[in-house]
A and B are shown apart, each in its own frame.
Chain A
Amino acid sequence: MAADFNWAVGGEAGDGIDSTGKIFAQALSRAGRHVFTSKDFASRIRGGYTAYKVRTSVDKVQSVVDRLDVLIALTPRTIEENLDELHEGSVIIYDGERTTMQDVEIPGEMTGIDVPLKRLAEEAGGAIMRNVVALGAACEVAEFPIENLDSALEKRFADKGQKLVDNNKEAARAGRSYVGEEYDHEFDYDLETTDEDYVLLNGDEAIGMGAIAAGCRFYAGYPITPATDVMTYLTGRIERYGGHVVQAEDELSAINMALGAARGGARSMTATSGPGIDLMTETFGLIATSETPLVICNVMRSGPSTGMPTKQEQGDLNQMLYGGHGEVPRFVLAPTTIDECFWKTVEAFNLAEKYQLPVYLTADLSMAVTEQTFSPDTFDMDAVEVDRGFVVDEADIDGHMSDSGGFQPHEITDDGVSPRAFPGTADGAHMSTGLEHDEQGRRTEDTEMRVAQVDKRNQKVETAREREDWSPREFGDADADTLVITWGSNEGALAEAVEMLDDEGLDVRVLSVPYVFPRPDLTDDVEAAENVVVVECNEQGQFADLVEHDVLARVDRVNKYNGVRFKADELAAEIKATLAEGAEA
């Protein structure tokens, strides 16, 4: 891989860190460079350390690493927080005229670049642009053509008028010139550009775009970190495609609205995080037993209870698999990369409608708020297929009536899938209910019908197991003795960790599993390997438990639950350590 460059801007929440970082990431993307971003942030409107980090290379980047080359530090704490990642060649850009930064000490051999950010911004038209001055300074340090920054500033401020765009461009140039004139210093960085076109998006946006592509027309949600971006993405966009977003009064309402829209025949969705799933679980059994297709997106964060709302965790696996009273059929999909967030969302809608049940689509905080570059072809809209499953209209409803002439939405069939009739379909009137019901949807406590309906609902899962492809994604060395299994968003870090381990002469085979239920049978893979390690961001190893349950064998576990996602270099070291422990034992 070509050399990567790691950059960050950090300060207090409310300092505009997020938009500053996003502008720089956009500039790199527009320069034809690959970008992978991450955020350290606190759940406060103002106050508290926050940082936006960008890793970039001309090659694909899909993880963060423990290294920082250029840091824009708006507060002393920004430097303290990142001491472990800074190295001798690091450059720290700061404003020595800012009261809190006057006595700041640049550690060790690092280079401090003192730029009067606020003063230069005021000269360019307003102090609010001080972060843009810093971006200009960063361009000079990294030898990055400032025209790319211009392009990102134009995109960012286009709707605010040309004057503002021009002022920002001037501010950036002031920062660049200041460093050029005051610091006669050769830096080690040279950010080359390419002619490639990239798009830059995060997991929440990919899910939202996937929903629209799949024909989702109705979204109801209640704001919650880190799922809110799905709703804000859809708002103002889904309407262009005939859809609508409602901000409900709570998650109980949101999922019931989504359920209502689905009963109306719309492709319908809600998104939330763990605490919201707790509330939505109330309605989950009803969705399943009324055989309503619904996509429920769970963007996981650190729990339990309010936990660490702005931190990473994959702790809700068991909740999604087992939540709700009674025995409830469901699917659980867990896209492993940001581009897969798009495609798995499309798949989730098709699966929900083909098998008429609730589908959990789960991402996690680190993927939801992380931006990554992709070729626009990655999201080829012509490749999107919509399969609505077994829907009957007036012409073919006759074959699905009871002897007494009632439509049978829960008809017993070989594959478990029954006909669906949308409201307005003549002769299709029927009730859907959370009560056990007969084929017409009428309440029953008849023992034979009860068994027939439970079996029918479970048959849908068995049918799906046979008909659909539940394969994991595989990479690394197919013949390696060591098998690493993971699920969800760890794939990127693991892919890079495998390359690092390969450089050290350690061969690893990786299975990255996007399907939690139904899931692939990994028995042969586990039995063929000498060492098996399951990597996940939780303490209990919820996915490792599933693998052990399926395969009836013990696996090693690498777990992380301090609120921070896996980094590639850290993961390589953890896997190595786990293998070494196994060898000692």
Chain B
Amino acid sequence: MSSDIRFTDFKSDKQPTWCPGCGDFGTMNGMMKALAETGNDPDNTFVVAGIGCSGKIGTYMHSYALHGVHGRALPVGTGVKMARPDIEVMVAGGDGDGYSIGAGHFVHAVRRNVDMTYVVMDNRIYGLTKGQASPTSREDFETSTTPDGPKQPPVNPHALALASGATFIAQSFSSDALRHQEIIQKAVEHDGFGFVNVYSPCVTFNDVDTYDYFRDSLVDLKETDHDPTDRGDAKDVILDSEKEHQGVIYQNEESVPYHEQHGVDEDMSVIPDGAPEGATDLVREFY
């Protein structure tokens, strides 16, 4: 780790093909800045990306990375971190990747509390496939596949996380660059699974959940008397369907990450060129 790392070191030489004005630019910038601020460099960082507009982030960032199968980014990140506790792991995906096809993994990744950061770029729409309802779309949001709206409530990812025993739950807004970076940074520094849902507006297919909408409606928890260490406070914020919030909603300061719970602390990439010492004991057990 070198101390003179700048966030631009995390930029690859590929120009993003996101639509001009896409929230994902800001989301990615905040991620890169948070990584640089926390003393990481591209060679000790592993970014896992899913599929969708958000999934392209692995291409636009420079680090060790895997751009995987739709919905399975969290299990990949889990495997990387368990094999390499010395590596900083950041997983990124969209609302479809995380809360639809990958929803099952989300619940269990939260429970496992592996020490990594999960950034969900939530635009409440499927952008890459040109505008279909996502699991976080509003009930009356009209799209090509839901002409009268989905007529089902959107997934509440924070509630899902809290119910699954999350140790860090946060919400940020890609356009509020400083706050977004600050919140991602807290998630990186958290000892355990740092979950940040990021409002990352789609300027092409979502004319409801726009920059203006979020700017006008977001309440910053920092400016309220919200106590993020209080699960009850967190529950109230999460179940408040009248307001949009940003900030750290919940953080368990006593969080014990998976690797400490399970004593997984070795760099598994290093192995001897023959059977490990004491392997013959395994044969004797069958006597």
Residues of A within 8 A of B (CB): 30, 197-201, 205, 209, 212-215, 217-218, 220, 237, 239-244, 246, 248-250, 252-254, 256-268, 282-283, 286, 290, 376, 379, 381-382, 384-386, 388, 404, 406, 422-435, 442-443
CB contacts (< 8 Å) of A266 on chain B: these are 83-84, 268-269
* Interface members, chain B 90-120 (any A CB < 8 Å): 104-105, 107-108
Beyond A240-B278, A423-B87, A429-B64, 18 additional contacts (C-beta under 8 Å) are A30-B287, A241-B276, A246-B82, A249-B107, A253-B105, A257-B76, A257-B79, A258-B79, A282-B69, A286-B68, A381-B279, A386-B272, A422-B269, A424-B267, A429-B43, A431-B12, A432-B67, A434-B67
Given contacts A256-B68, A263-B66, A429-B63, contact A244 B82 (CB under 8 A): yes
Binding site for A on B (CB under 8 A): 12-14, 42-46, 48, 58-59, 62-69, 71-72, 74-84, 86-87, 104-105, 107-108, 262-264, 266-269, 271-276, 278-280, 282-284, 286-287
Identity of the chain B residue whose Cβ is nearest the Cβ of A385 in the assembled complex: B274
Contact present for B42 and A283 (CB under 8 Å): no
For B108, the chain A residues whose CB sits under 8 A away are: 248-249, 253
Give A206's nearest chain B residue, CB to CB: B286
Please state if A428 and B79 are interface contacts (CB–CB under 8 Å).
Answer: no
A–B Cβ pairs within 8 angstroms, 5 of them: A30-B287, A212-B276, A264-B79, A386-B273, A429-B63
The answer to whether B269 touches A197 (Cβ under 8 A) is no
CB distance from A348 to the nearest CB of B (A): 15
- Nearest Cβ distance between residue A53 and chain B, in whole angstroms? 20
Q: Are A213 and B275 in contact (CB under 8 A)?
A: yes
Q: How far is the CA of A268 from the CA of B66 in the complex (A)?
A: 16
Output the nearest chain B residue to A233 by Cβ-Cβ distance.
Answer: B282
**C-alpha spacing A481/B160, complex, angstroms:** 68
> Do A424 and B69 have beta carbons less than 8 Å apart?
no
B274 with A261: CB separation less than 8 A? no
**A432 partner residues in chain B, CB cutoff 8 A:** 65-67
Task: Choose one: A201, A256, A267, A404; the contact of B13 (CB below 8 Å).
Answer: A404
Knowing A381-B275, A429-B63, say if A209 contacts B268 (CB, 8 Å).
no
A424 touches B83 (CB 8 A): no
Q: Is the CB of B83 within 8 A of A261?
A: yes
Q: How far is the CA of A244 from the CA of B263 in the complex (A)?
A: 9
The answer to whether A264 and B268 touch across the interface, beta carbons within 8 angstroms, is yes
Could you say which residues of chain B place their CB within 8 Å of the CB of A257? 75-76, 78-79, 82
Whether B68 lies near A209 (C-beta < 8 A) is no
Inter-subunit contact A260/B77 (CB<8 Å): yes
Take A241-B279, A242-B268, A256-B69 as given contacts and tell me if A443 and B76 are in contact as well, using a CB distance cutoff of 8 Å.
no
Q: Is the CB of B287 within 8 A of A386?
A: no
Q: Are A217 and B83 in contact (CB under 8 A)?
A: yes
- Chain B residue at minimum C-beta to C-beta distance from A404: B13
Assembly CA distance A197 to B12 (angstroms):
61
Contact in complex: B276, A424 (CB < 8 Å): no
A520 to B76, CA, bound (A): 35
* A424 in contact with B82 (CB, 8 Å): no
A376 to B286, CA, bound (A): 9
CA distance A116 to B269 in the complex (A): 58
Nearest residue (CB) in A for B9 is A429
Say whether chain B's binding surface is mostly helix, strand, loop, or mixed.
Answer: mixed
- Tell whether, in the assembled complex, residue A433 and residue B283 are in contact, meaning their CB atoms are under 8 Å apart: no
Q: Which residues of A contact B272 (CB under 8 A)?
A: 215, 386
Chain B residues whose C-beta falls within 8 Å of the C-beta of A220 in the assembled complex? 75, 79
Contact assessment for B67 and A252 in the assembled complex, using a CB-CB cutoff below 8 Å: no
Contact yes or no, B282 A237, CB < 8 A: yes
Are A382 and B274 interface neighbours, CB within 8 A? yes
Q: How far is the CB of A163 from chain B (nearest CB, A)?
A: 24
* In the complex, chain B residues whose CB is within 8 Å of the CB of A376: 283-284, 286-287
Measured between beta carbons, the chain B residues less than 8 angstroms from A244 are 82, 262, 264, 268
A213 vs B42: C-alpha distance in the bound complex, in angstroms? 33
Quote the shortest CB–CB distance from A65 to chain B (angstroms): 24
Q: Are A386 and B75 in contact (CB under 8 A)?
A: no
Contact (Cβ within 8 A) B84 A265 = yes
State the CA gap A450–B57 with chains docked (Å): 22
Q: Contacts A218-B83, A423-B80 given: A264-B269 contact, CB under 8 Å?
A: yes
Which of B64, B65, B87, B284 has the most CB atoms of chain A within a 10 A radius of its CB? Answer: B64
- Nearest-Cβ distance from residue B102 to partner chain A, whole angstroms: 9
Chain B residues positioned under 8 Å from A431 (CB to CB): 12, 58-59, 64-67
Residue of B nearest to A258 (CB): B79
Assess whether A241 is in contact with B65, with CB atoms less than 8 Å apart: no
B271 touching A260, Cβ below 8 Å: no
Contact of B84 among A199, A214, A250, A264 (CB under 8 A): A264
From A259, A384, A422, contact of B279 by CB (8 A): A384
Closest 4 CB pairs of A and B: A260-B79, A265-B269, A264-B83, A256-B75
Kindly provide the distance from the CB of A559 to the nearest chain B CB, expressed in whole angstroms.
33
Least CB separation from B70: chain A residue = A282
Interface centre among B63, B81, B276, B280 (most CB of A within 10 A): B276
Complex Cα distance A243/B279, Å?
A: 13
Which chain B positions have C-beta within 8 A of A240?
278
Q: Which of B76, B78, B284 has the most CB of A within 10 A?
A: B76
The smallest C-beta distance from B84 to any residue of chain A, in angstroms, reads: 4
Chain A residue at smallest Cβ distance from B86: A424
Check B46 against A384 for contact (C-beta < 8 Å).
no
Whole-angstrom CA separation of A408 from B273 in the bound complex: 25
Contact B48 A260 (CB under 8 A): yes
Closest to B14 in A: A442
Known contacts A423-B80, A432-B67; decide if A199 and B276 are in contact (CB<8 Å). no
The closest CB in chain B to the CB of A290 belongs to B66
A260: which of B76, B107, B273, B284 is its contact (CB, 8 Å)?
A: B76
Please determine whether B62 and A200 come into contact, CB atoms closer than 8 angstroms: no
Cβ contacts under 8 Å, A430 to chain B? 64-65
B279 to A: closest C-beta gap in Å? 4
Q: Which residues of B contact A379 (CB under 8 A)?
A: 282-283
Contact A212 B282 (CB under 8 A): yes
Shortest beta-carbon distance from B12 to chain A in Å:
8
Tell whether A428 pairs with B43 under 8 Å between CB atoms, given A261-B82, A268-B79: yes
B13 neighbours in A (Cβ, 8 Å): 404, 406
Query: Which residues of the partner chain B approach A212 to less than 8 Å between Cβ atoms?
Result: 275-276, 279, 282
Name the distance in Å between B61's Cβ and chain A's nearest Cβ.
8
Q: What residues of A have a CB within 8 angstroms of the CB of B275 in the complex? A: 212-215, 381-382, 384, 386
- Given A217-B83, A430-B64, CB of A256 within 8 Å of CB of B279: no
Instruction: Known contacts A244-B262, A265-B268, A266-B268; decide if A434 and B44 are in contact (CB<8 Å).
Output: no
Question: Chain A CB within 10 Å — which of B63, B271, B287 has the most?
Answer: B271
Distance (Å) between the CB of A68 and the closest chain B CB? 26
- Partner of B76 from the list A218, A259, A388 (CB cut-off 8 Å) is A259
What is the bound-complex CA distance between A382 and B273, given in angstroms? 11
**Max chain B C-beta neighbours (<10 A), residue from A209, A256, A282, A384:** A256
Q: Are B286 and A200 in contact (CB under 8 A)?
A: yes
Nearest chain B CB to A218 CB, angstrom units: 5
Bound-state CA distance A260–B67 (Å) is 11
Whether A442 contacts B83 in the complex (CB less than 8 A), given A261-B268, A264-B46, A283-B72, comes out as no
Least CB distance from A253 to B in Å reads 4
Specify which of A209, A241, A252 is in contact with B278 (CB 8 Å cutoff): A241
